[in-house]
Amino acid sequence: MTALAALIRRDIRIALRVGGGALIGVLFFLSVVVLMPFAVGPDLKLLARLGPAILWLGALLASLLTLDRLFMADHEDGSLDLIVMSRIPLELACAAKALAHWIAAGLPLIVATPVLGLLLNLDTLSTSAIALTLLAGTPALTFTGMIGAALAVTLHRGGLLLAVLVLPLSIPVLIFGVAASEAAATGPQTFGAPFLILCALSLVSFVIGPFAAAASLRQGLD
């Protein structure tokens, strides 16, 4: 346990220091959401209707932004070799790294959501509902994205490849995340069903993500 805690602590510390990715993600999220009203125009009703989708898309793109470095940085400086050799199962180490990434890069997005909700003319209730769906859904984005991050190491390519690999996997999360948010913001539909499916997607990704990522990293050893 101390080993995993040490890994989580280290990754969070690096993300929060100068040059880390945590702040970049939030700033990117902010820029995407702030640009939207300029693109859509000053129609407040339309903005409020698009709000949940815009916030979810922004969060999705922002969480992808720093994800490609998840294993690449460790691969480049040789840390990954030592992690693979260590007495900690690689699956657990992958899960710990994804958790640290979510805490450093995902949580700040959720904290920023209420502020951004104001810019999109969303009321308090719908903003908090969106924040809640993001809280339930962003772990799924990180844990499925981790598979892409591990593949990027295996294939020696980062950046855009990750987006191409991961974005299709995140479609279910996006559908149910936006459905639950819209149900809370405007809709006659119930909030419960899509929200529960969103939680289920996150739980499934907790199981599949670490195993798939570890398998990919082992395959890509060289």
Partner 1 sequence: MRLSGRHLKCVRGGREVFSGLEFAAEAGEALAVRGPNGSGKTSLLRLIAGLLIPAAGTIALEGGAAELTLAEQAHYLGHRDALKPALSVMENLAFWRDFLGGEVSDAGQSLEAVGLEHAADLPAAFLSAGQRRRLSLARLLTVRRPVWLLDEPTAALDAAGEGLFAGLMRDHLARGGLIVAATHTPLGIEARELRIGGEP
Number of neighbours of residue 221 by Cβ within 10 angstroms: 10
Name, in order, each residue with C-beta under 8 angstroms of 127's C-beta and a sequence gap of 6 or more. 113, 114, 117, 118
Q: Which is nearer to partner 1, 10 or 49 (CB)?
A: 10
- For residue 121, report the phi and psi dihedrals to the nearest 5 degrees: 60, 40
Q: How far is the CB of 83 from partner 1 (least distance, A)?
A: 8
- From the list 46-54, 63-71, 82-90, 184-192, the region that binds partner 1 by CB under 8 A is 82-90
CB of 4 closer than 8 Å to CB of 88: yes
Among 40, 84, 107, 119, binds partner 1 (CB under 8 A): 84
Distance CA 57, CA 35 (A): 13
Total site size for partner 1, rule CB under 8 A: 27
Query: Among 39, 45, 87, 188, which residue sits at the site for partner 1 (rule: CB under 8 A)?
Result: 87
Q: Between residues 3 and 48, which has the closer beta carbon with respect to partner 1?
A: 3
Cα torsion 115, 56, 199, 14: sign: negative
Least CB distance from residue 107 to partner 1, whole Å? 19
- Of 12, 50, 83, 201, the residue at the interface with partner 1 (CB under 8 A) is 83
Report the site for partner 1 in 128-187 (rule: CB under 8 A): none
Residue position matching structure tokens 């790294």: 97
The CA–CA distances, whole Å, from 191 to 18, 85, 168, 198 equal: 40, 46, 24, 11
Q: Does 6 bind partner 1 (CB under 8 A)?
A: yes
Q: Return the closest-CA partner of residue 51 out of 167, 186, 141.
A: 186
Nearer to partner 1, 13 or 46 (CB): 13
Of 38, 42, 45, 82, the one binding partner 1 (CB under 8 A) is 82
Q: How far is the CB of 111 from partner 1 (least distance, A)?
A: 22
Residues that bind partner 1 (CB under 8 A): 2-3, 5-7, 9-10, 13-14, 17-20, 76-79, 81-88, 221-222
